[in-house]
Structure 1
Amino acid sequence: MTTQTDVIIQTQDLKQEVPNREGALVILKGINMAIYSGESIAIVGVSGSGKSTLLGMLAGLDTPSSGHIHVAGQDITQMDEEGRALLRGEKVSFVFQNFQLLPSLTALENVMLPLEVKGLANPDKQAQSWLERVGLSDRISHYPQQLSGGEQQRVAVARAFASESAILFADEPTGNLDTTTGDKIADLLFSLNKEQKTTLVLVTHDPHLAARCDRQFEMTAGELVEVTA
């Protein structure tokens, strides 16, 4: 277990409702949770349980119907989209199931892009260094369509960690990969998580992947419960 005690993400009575013909579809039912700096947590649950919706809320990609979300001490529910985007640029990185690489950019350019947006020095050298760390030193000039699924996800992992963000959100990061490749990507995620002291928030269907996290939460019909041994 992590020894960190600082809360980096906290929700208070978080709710999300979507109007429909019957009145309202309740997706999140008063979520209260605290995530500590440097730890890894998994959010598990069946499809449609609300876990990806919750992840989007925590990342400031969507806004709740009611409740509050504090990220790095700031209430993002009180921000406009520009404010949330600025916070994401400073504090957050993502790894998605479908990689989300830009097809017109090489592996190197995909990793460089967020570094350039942040205005970091020597983005090309930093991006190349991270691609080397994930085992892609011979693929830096390749475009996504020239890479295997596992290689594309390695580029995505390099891009996420190269940004030096405090929080990494991963949505089914091994969902499109075979078991062997998925295990390698998971090893990479967790080793870099510990090395960089990044807070890892993981949504997954995979119980083995979830079990590797410091803590697990299960989402059922919009309600979140911490899983205890």
Structure 2
Amino acid sequence: MSVMLRAENLHHRVNTSEGPLTLLNDISLQLPAGQSLAITGASGSGKSTLLGLLAGLDRPSEGKIWLAGEEITAMDEEQRAALRARCVGFVFQTFQLLPGLTAQENVMLPSELRGERNAGKRAQEFLERVGLGHRLHHYPRQLSGGEQQRVALARAFCSIANTGSTASNGILFADEPTGSLDAHNGEKVIDLLFNLNGETGTTLVLVTHEQRLAARCGAHLRMTAGEITAGDLPGSLAEVSA
């Protein structure tokens, strides 16, 4: 099985008025393509920092990261952005929808920016898959929180599914995807997330406080004070697998 994500000896520090602050300390992991991984831990444990580094949104102070077979820590920001556009999707707690675009326009935007044909049709198909075929022309302000997160899911999967990339069907990073939702809508979004993930064959990495969500993943690691303290990661560079 091919490896979608690999990190070796990651350290991340930031400068503060009180001196250097270590956010991550010696993190190593490896995740096969098509697998799902939950990262849990208390607020301030470093899980969202780790997610951002693995997705190429930031660079570590030390260490190396490979995403879809390419070393993103050796890339500049433009190169990392190009790789993300090819094979990475995101779902955030705050939805991140553009208010001036309809649901369909929000979903089709990443594909349209890549110059893909039939972006509108594919966006409609994914909105129908999340139960929002009747909301294509509604703006975010006209949608409930649960509906907005379903639009965000459709956008994420539409942007990485069947793009013609060789990156093993892409990878989805989700940061607290149910954090802004009530229990009922949270359950709906969780079911959709894993159903779409299974249908499209993507790799999934998510940060969550919710054990019910973490339990749905094939692998799980827990972080404390910037270090991996529990989960499916024994050893210095263990493969995370189902």
- If the TM-score is normalised by the length of the shorter chain, which range does it land in? over 0.9
* Partner residue, 1:103: 99
Following superposition, the deviation at residue 95 of structure 1 comes to 0.5
Q: Distance in 2 between matches of 1:193 and 1:127?
A: 16
Whole-Å separation in 2 of the counterparts to 1:216 and 1:65: 25
User: What does residue range 162-201 of structure 1 map to in structure 2 within 5 Å?
Assistant: 162-163=158-159, 164=161, 166-201=170-205
- Between the aligned partners of 2:194 and 2:124, the Cα distance in structure 1 is 21
Write out per-residue CA displacement over residues 124-167 of structure 1, whole angstroms, 9 at most, x where no aligned residue. 11111111111001111000000000000000001011111600
- After TM superposition, the structure 1 = structure 2 runs for residues 106-185 of structure 1, keeping only pairs within 5 Å, are 106-163=102-159, 164=161, 166-185=170-189
Letter in 1 for 2:202: T
Letter in 2 for 1:58: L
CA distance in 1, matches of 2:58, 2:228: 18
Cα separation, 2, equivalents of 1:17 and 1:101: 31
Aligned residues: 224
1:210 aligned residue: 214
Q: Does 1:55 align with 2:58?
A: no
* In 2: Cα distance, 1:176 partner to 1:162 partner: 22
Q: What TM-score results when the alignment is normalised by the length of structure 1?
A: 0.95
**Partner SS, residue 119 of structure 1:** coil
**Following the alignment from structure 1 to structure 2, what is the Cα–Cα distance between the partners of residues 206 and 111?**
26
Matched position secondary structure for 2:50:
helix
Distance 2:133 2:18 in 1: 55
Supply the RMSD in Å over aligned alpha carbons: 1.0
**Structure 2 CA distance for aligned equivalents of residues 219 and 118 of structure 1:** 36
Amino acid in the other structure paired with 1:166: G
> Residues of 1 paired with 2:176 and 2:135: CA distance?
24
Tell me which stretches of 4 or more aligned residues in structure 1 moved more than 2 Å: 20-23
Could you tell me which residue of structure 1 aligns to residue 164 of structure 2?
none
* Offset of residue 226 of structure 1: 4.5
5+ residue gaps, structure 1, are none
SS in 1 for 2:19: coil
Q: Sequence identity of aligned pairs in percent?
A: 59
Where in structure 2 are the equivalents of 1:15-26 lying within 5 Å?
Answer: 15-26=11-22
In 2, Cα distance between equivalents of 1:193 and 1:207: 19
- Does residue 76 of structure 1 match 2:99? no
TM-score by length of 2: 0.90
Residue type at the aligned position of 2:199: E
Q: 1:69-125, CA deviations, whole angstroms, 9 ceiling, x for partnerless residues?
A: 001111111110000000000010000000000000000100110110122211111
- Looking at structure 2, the residues matched to 16 and 101 of structure 1 have their Cα atoms a distance apart, in angstroms, of 29
Aligned residue type for 2:34: G
Cα drift, residue 21 of structure 1: 3.8
